[in-house]
Structure 1
Amino acid sequence: MRPQSLTPLFAQVTSLPGIGPRLGKLVEKLAGPLVVDLLWHLPFALIDRRNAPEIAGAQAGTVATLTVTVDEHLVPRNPRQPYRVWCSDETGRLCLTFFNGREDYLKKLLPPGEIRVVSGRVDLYQGEVQITHPDHVVPLDQRESILRVEPVYGLTAGLTQRPVQKAIAAGVERAPALPEWQDPAYLARNRWADWKSSLASAHAPAEEQDLAPLHPARARLAFDELLASQLAIALVRHHNRTLSGRATKGDRRLHKVTLEALPFELTASQKGAVEEIATDMAKPERMIRLLQGDVGSGKTLVAFLAMLIAVEAGAQAALMAPTELLARQHYATIAPLAEATGVRLALLTGRDGQKLKKETMRGLADGSIDLVIGTHALVQEEVEFADLALAVVDEQHRFGVHQRMALSSKGQAVDLLVMTATPIPRTLMLAAYGDLDVSKLTEKPAGRLPIDTRTLPLERIGEVVEGVGRMIGTGARVYWVCPLIEESEEVDLANVEERFGLLSTRFPGKVGLLHGRLKGAEREATMAAFAEGRLSILVATTVIEVGVDVPAATVMVIEHAERFGLAQLHQLRGRVGRGAGKSSCLLLYAQPLGETAKARLAIMRETEDGFRIAEEDLRLRGAGELLGTRQSGLPDMRLADLAAHGELLQAARDDARLVIDRDPDLQSERGKALRVLLYLFRRDDAVRTLRAG
């Protein structure tokens, strides 16, 4: 049960003053549905309203708080003209300007002849001092309430600063005093205040430096978040380690047959990864290993060799992929190898016919099928295995923890191998997986040539189309990636359908279209036509980012490359250069390019090393963005910035390990406070493993 003390923080945001149902929806879009979500929404700037000059001393471009007498209202005859209110003090005149101003409202706010305190950005208009739409207008006795430093929050369309500031201030006020979960020595060494004071201070910056990520209040909150995350990972791992495992040992006979059937040698890192997996599987504890390999580094083959160990030991193995496209592709890669080794392989997806599905399920239940490749269909309740020993999860960041666990629960102490083609920087590895055992595939398979990457401004798109025409004349196949499916008012990007239309006119009958809104069957038919060479150009959105494998495709054109993150550009580029031919990647960008976009495109030209690209991506975008991609499965950090808080992350990891060594059930005084911390950051999963113990 969540501790009673946290109840005020887990109330709906609409329970805060000034946030009704309409604003509630906007606040939810901005930060989340609960009070605690709003508390994690820290200010990114400040406005200093302590500057209180007389009118003559007010400087254009600054924010000033002025005490004035209201002189007269100039009500416009035409509603398109601004409504002006003239005010003065002993040193001069001030014009307050309102667009679409309502007379009754403004006369009540600024009664002629009375003194008012107004605050806002000062402009000079035709020599007169003016404030357009002042931020604050209050009677003289409320002057002190304005003369302060105001936090500035990120907003979403339809929200203004005032209600957000007011709601957050009320939320901070409601925040309870909580037991101290930090290690006292570490707290003292960093000179950090308690949780509630740090929260209040982070929302009340007085100087620019109070907004820095390493300011004591912000660093303390970031460490709390990192500690909750690391402790949750450590608890789940401790729980998994203490469950009895099974030793799965193979005799390498199938392994040998496979290697003889391959037309090439394994790379050194593939051999190393297979050995690490085999060693883990042979131990009595459960294996949880991450196989990290760049695009085209041969992860599927390593997974197949790992799956064979289970078969050699008389058990079964399953590989789960996030999309049907990927599942079918793994199947196409593995089927010939399974045939050569005499292993029975099946495919299970949501779109299989009932008859085929039943047959496959019968084979899995009676053990006549050794290996299965599938989508989420594998974790349905009716799917049963005779003896599942190894579960392989591909592109695991696309699955929730529950789906991974659901597959593992289909057998006794199932070993887990998770694969990702997204190279993850070391800091993020720690943040997402604690210290998960990792095997890395660092080389490309033999015979792969480097990809020639070039950047061109969009104005030269005509030349690119001509070049593409020449390439397809020689039998080449081309991917053409556009960033959006349909016109949106905000982003007038090359619409994928429009680009498809234009290229189809130029190359009739040669162009296919692929995007996420197409039905599965249409997508597969288009992919098949492209793979078989009936289509020469595939115009697509980023649905082709992961796992599409057409060795004959040698050209990748990416429009508006400046809009993509580095990791995504790298993934897309990895769709070419998979055969023996020379491949090229053209990155088309809109001018002018910002500094970050420039740096990003330069790195793409310089290197194909996914691990270096991932580190650069973290440096350029900061972890917020890398983690912000919701589907990344990486923890959603609201307070910690991994680019700035790397050292805190290391400390949080060490602290979490120490806690688990000394107090794995969190029963000590500090342990109980740490339970509150886990609930505060919604790491309820970890608390549940404690209870399931």
Structure 2
Amino acid sequence: MNRSFDAGGAAIPPDRLAATITLDEPVTRVRLVSPTRAHALEKLGIYTIRHLVTHFPRRYVDLSSKETIASAVVGQQCTIEGQVHAIKLKRPKPRLQLVEITVVDGTGTLIVTAFRQPWLMDQVSAGDRIAIAGELEFGYGFKRMTNPYLEVLAGSDQAQGKIIPVHPACEKVSAAWMRRLVGNALAATAGAYDPLPLDLRVRYRLMGRQAALRSIHFPHTMDEVAQARRRLVYEELLLLEIMLMSQEREREQGRTATSHVVDGAHVARLADALPFQLTDEQRQAKDDILSRMAAPRAASHMLLGDVGTGKTVVAAFALAAVADTGTQAMLMAPTEVLARQHAASLAPLFDAAGVTWELLCGSTSAAERAAVLQRFAAGTVDVLVGTHALLEEDVVPKSLSLVVIDEQQRFGVDQRRTLLEKGELPDALYLTATPIPRSLALALYGNLTLSYIRNRPHTSAVRTTSVHKKADRGRAYDAAREALSRGEQVFVVCPLIGQDASTRDEKASRAPARTIDEEAYEYASISIEDDADFDGDNVSAAVQEASYLSSTVFVDYEVALLHGRMPAAEKQQVMEGFSQGRIQVLVATTVIEVGVDIPNATVMIVEDADRFGLAQLHQLRGRVGRGSLPAQVHLISASKSEAALQRLSAMERTDDGFELAAFDLSLRREGDILGNRQHGASGLKLVNVVRDGKVIEAAHADAAAILEADPTLELPENRVLAREARMAFSGGVTVQGG
């Protein structure tokens, strides 16, 4: 009987569709996955067979460099094969367990120490032959290894010449058992359809999917791993881009977009009213946005600009075009401070251009709110500026054709959708001061077109950043006092505003700093703005800290406090006092992270800076140096973590947000690049946006071409692709077709 074989040499089952469907069946269908093991796998996020076959190794152990205990060189990586002479469980501290294994091989003795792995007592016994791979150390008279890779060798197994994949494991499922289960899962899905169209596989010389999965899990050479990874990275990205673009097309289905007038009188008068010339980058971004608004298809555009690059004035032209078209726009900001500032900065421009506008916030009085909503519903208001208040059901425009969302990453997917659904098919313009490299932007927002503004108009303002140990923070205070003596103003930013300085110092000295890998990677750091963020905090302590600074460090100056739990009117009063110069020192939470524009503020002191992400620190320092005066940022840290200090030192080296973002990305593990809160991100397991930038560009272009030719993915060659995009990113919207 003739049998067919796939590229990996495995026999293809007669029913390939059944094998494909098996990918999304419960993991309990895999041989040897008992209910107990299934429960353990759930803790690793493995629920289906698809999850198991994409549970990729985190590293590989090359056992080709096997040494004897005697010949192994201290300080080098090596593999040693020997016999367990003794194994003991020790508890040097009440909460610390370690397993100590004594290994012999006829040439010497090796001591293996495994911290926090008590289950090894059940897996390793005296007399077992084991292979150990790791860095050799020397101490207390013996050669040693700490937390090495360890595998029990059964029967005639040899360590020599093998490449061992090391999968993420857990107490109930060891790395060895995980390999066994993954192998069984691959066997259960052998012959499944390859979702990549043949022409793409040929064009990029990619392995078949089944061969790639087998090679990445059970490679014979490390080059095989590289080729498998290249195939699977492209697949992940193509499926994500298909999902994102299909999501956008679904929004347009059955609706009519507005072709905006972009060269009308309001736009012209706005240009004449500007007290400055747009930079080349601002002009290019404006032209990009207006050209997409003029098209008959709905625009979904993101304007990315570093802090202080003038994104708001570019957005103003889009809003003026709405007035020329005779329709309406809504501009939503994440905080009332920012919404009011937008209204204040745009008001003179809109008034000069004849664009009618209103402001709607949570603190707007009931009577004023009713009047604003009535005028907006009647169509006499061109632009409504506001906060989350715009999302309320009673906010009903007459003819909404443009939604502008500032700092869009601060709003959830549902919130953005709610605002867009207030119109037939409004154009969407998203603004962000978060410096996202193009490769990451395409991976996160592949359904959007992009414009960048990289340079600040105020090139004369020099801004420097310095990192100080806690004991040296007096230098920061000295710099602040010097600035105050010149008539300038100062920000003091605290990450835990609900705790006084002594409590923060005590906690900082006790708690280990978070490492890079322990921090959730999010360019959009969450600011303290809502009451829920202050649960358990002692607000009176915040008042005490501001009082302490005013009575000791800044005795001769007016010090005020700004935090998220203050009433809106009080916050507004403080901000007005600071902007008008009556308040010289503002002690604040990250409520001032975005949108606060005080050109006279030239010094910022950030307490416990290591507790912030790099992106948030960069956002914060964007509050100073916004005028022509030189500015200083002082980052205070009690951390002794080398990784944390390395991160902060990057703030000293560069003031370019995009360069800083690239550096931050370079420090990340692959799995930390994309946050789970981004749609589809949890489906990306291998992508590294620094290394895979060209692959991201290619996948983005290929997805666009596929959907242009087959919008609903109904052609036979695209049906498996449609199904895979839907299943791989089931947290997103359903992809049509397939």
User: TM-score, normalising length from structure 2?
Assistant: 0.75
The aligned residue for residue 27 of structure 1 is: 44
1:154/1:264 Cα in 2 relative to 1: closer, same or farther (>3 Å)?
Answer: same
Q: Contact 1:152 / 1:161 at 8 angstroms: preserved in 2?
A: no
**Are residues 1:66 and 2:113 paired?**
no
Percent identity of paired positions between Structure 1 and Structure 2: 31
Q: Count matched residues.
A: 671
**Are residues 1:375 and 2:387 paired?**
yes
The aligned residue for residue 419 of structure 2 is: 407
Alpha-carbon distance, 1:327 to partner: 2.0
Q: Contact 2:37 / 2:173 at 8 angstroms: preserved in 1?
A: no
1:347/1:11 Cα in 2 relative to 1: closer, same or farther (>3 Å)?
Answer: farther
1:625/1:575 Cα in 2 relative to 1: closer, same or farther (>3 Å)?
Answer: farther
Please, which of 39, 42, 45 is the counterpart of residue 59 of structure 2? 45
Greater share of helix: 1
**What is the CA–CA distance in structure 2 between the aligned matches of 1:168 and 1:119, rounded to whole Å?**
16
1:59/1:419 Cα in 2 relative to 1: closer, same or farther (>3 Å)?
Answer: closer
Q: Contact 1:453 / 1:585 at 8 angstroms: preserved in 2?
A: yes
The aligned residue for residue 649 of structure 1 is: 696
Q: What are the superposed Cα offsets for residues 210-240 of structure 1, whole Å, 9 maximum, x if unpaired?
A: 66xxx01111111111111222233345556
Please, which of 711, 726, 731 is the counterpart of residue 679 of structure 1? 726
Alpha-carbon distance, 1:653 to partner: 2.4
Q: What are the superposed Cα offsets for residues 260-310 of structure 1, whole Å, 9 maximum, x if unpaired?
A: 554444444444444444443333322233333332232222323322222
**Are residues 1:455 and 2:466 paired?**
yes
Q: Contact 2:680 / 2:732 at 8 angstroms: preserved in 1?
A: no
**What is the CA–CA distance in structure 2 between the aligned matches of 1:151 and 1:352, rounded to whole Å?**
60
Q: What are the superposed Cα offsets for residues 357-398 of structure 1, whole Å, 9 maximum, x if unpaired?
A: 443333322223332112233233333211112111212233
1:628/1:561 Cα in 2 relative to 1: closer, same or farther (>3 Å)?
Answer: farther
1:519/1:632 Cα in 2 relative to 1: closer, same or farther (>3 Å)?
Answer: farther
Alpha-carbon distance, 1:317 to partner: 1.0
**Are residues 1:199 and 2:213 paired?**
yes
Q: Contact 2:167 / 2:178 at 8 angstroms: preserved in 1?
A: no
Please, which of 593, 601, 604 is the counterpart of residue 553 of structure 1? 601
1:308/1:201 Cα in 2 relative to 1: closer, same or farther (>3 Å)?
Answer: same
1:56/1:399 Cα in 2 relative to 1: closer, same or farther (>3 Å)?
Answer: same
The aligned residue for residue 11 of structure 2 is: none
Deviates more, 1:512-521 or 1:80-89: 80-89
**1:213-612 counterparts in 2 under 5 A?**
215-238=226-249, 243-249=255-261, 252-259=264-271, 261-341=273-353, 343-434=355-446, 436-441=448-453, 444-445=456-457, 449-458=460-469, 460-482=472-494, 487=507, 490-491=511-512, 503-504=549-550, 505-508=552-555, 510-514=558-562, 526-558=574-606, 567-587=615-635, 601=649, 605=653, 608-611=655-658
**SS state of the match for residue 725, structure 2?**
helix
Alpha-carbon distance, 1:337 to partner: 3.7
1:632/1:521 Cα in 2 relative to 1: closer, same or farther (>3 Å)?
Answer: farther
Q: What are the superposed Cα offsets for residues 534-593 of structure 1, whole Å, 9 maximum, x if unpaired?
A: 443334454433222223212123456677665444433321122343333345577999
Structure 2: stretches of 5+ with no match in the other structure: 1-16, 498-503, 515-536
1:466/1:412 Cα in 2 relative to 1: closer, same or farther (>3 Å)?
Answer: same
**Are residues 1:184 and 2:195 paired?**
no
Q: What are the superposed Cα offsets for residues 452-481 of structure 1, whole Å, 9 maximum, x if unpaired?
A: 314354354222212212222333211234
Alpha-carbon distance, 1:678 to partner: 0.2
**What is the CA–CA distance in structure 1 between the aligned matches of 2:38 and 2:407, rounded to whole Å?**
39
1:259/1:672 Cα in 2 relative to 1: closer, same or farther (>3 Å)?
Answer: closer
Structure 1: stretches of 5+ with no match in the other structure: none
Q: Contact 1:325 / 1:548 at 8 angstroms: preserved in 2?
A: yes
The aligned residue for residue 6 of structure 2 is: none
**SS state of the match for residue 628, structure 1?**
coil
Q: Contact 1:236 / 1:689 at 8 angstroms: preserved in 2?
A: no
Deviates more, 1:673-682 or 1:608-617: 608-617
**What is the CA–CA distance in structure 2 between the aligned matches of 1:348 and 1:610, rounded to whole Å?**
32
**What is the CA–CA distance in structure 2 between the aligned matches of 1:611 and 1:135, rounded to whole Å?**
38
**SS state of the match for residue 27, structure 1?**
coil
* AA aligned opposite 1:584: Q
Deviates more, 1:262-271 or 1:132-141: 132-141
**SS state of the match for residue 207, structure 2?**
coil
**What is the CA–CA distance in structure 1 between the aligned matches of 2:623 and 2:426, rounded to whole Å?**
32
* AA aligned opposite 1:575: R
* AA aligned opposite 1:380: E
**What is the CA–CA distance in structure 2 between the aligned matches of 1:386 and 1:580, rounded to whole Å?**
43
User: TM-score, normalising length from structure 1?
Assistant: 0.79
